[in-house]
């Protein structure tokens, strides 16, 4: 189930929306991180596909994102996996949202990976979604306290 967090205020539902509005969507294929996503293990493809389609229809200016911690990372766990992200949010802004959710101190590093690649901080989430969304319609993001891959994607 998805809820909303826009600029710090919550609606009381069980997922998150980060930031403001925007456009975007469509295209691509892609993978889900360094290991098999727990979300994928817990929900079959058809259910995930139906949920992503429903979300995209209801919130056309937002991107459905699944955020999971890398298996072997010592960084804190995130409280929610599902996020509705404005299409015009940058990767850097989304990293800030994740940092806040896991209450990570400023001196600690965090890296996010999409399809085992470190996306550029200035990239727009809709561009990452178009390029790397999974067959189920979700964008899978893995976060870690270590730069386990270190490759930057060119969009």
- Contact assessment for residue 152 and residue 125, using Cβ atoms and an 8 Å cutoff: no
Mean pLDDT by 10 residues, the chain (155 residues): 35 41 34 66 96 96 97 92 97 96 92 95 98 97 80 51
Looking at residue 152, its pLDDT comes to 52
Domain ranges of the chain: 5-144
| Closest residue by Cα to residue 15 from 85, 80, 101, 87 | 80
CATH of span 5-144 = 3.10.20.90
Please give the model's pTM, rounded to 2 decimal places: 0.75
38 to 64, 87, 95, 146: CA distances (angstroms) = 16, 24, 20, 20
């Amino acid at each position: 189930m998805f809820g909303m967090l826009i600029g710090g205020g919550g609606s009381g539902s069980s997922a998150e929306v980060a930031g403001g509005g925007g456009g975007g969507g469509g295209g691509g294929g892609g993978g889900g991180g360094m290991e098999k996503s727990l979300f994928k293990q817990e929900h079959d493809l058809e259910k995930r596909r139906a949920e992503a389609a429903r979300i995209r229809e209801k919130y056309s200016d937002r991107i459905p994102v699944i955020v999971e911690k890398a298996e072997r990372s010592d960084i804190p766990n995130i409280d929610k996996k599902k996020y509705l992200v404005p299409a015009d949010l940058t990767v850097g802004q989304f990293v800030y949202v994740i940092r806040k959710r896991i209450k990570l101190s400023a001196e600690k590093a965090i890296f996010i990976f999409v399809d085992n690649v470190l996306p550029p901080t200035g990239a727009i989430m809709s561009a990452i979604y178009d390029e790397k969304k999974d067959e189920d319609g979700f964008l899978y993001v893995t976060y870690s306290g270590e730069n386990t891959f270190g490759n930057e994607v060119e969009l």
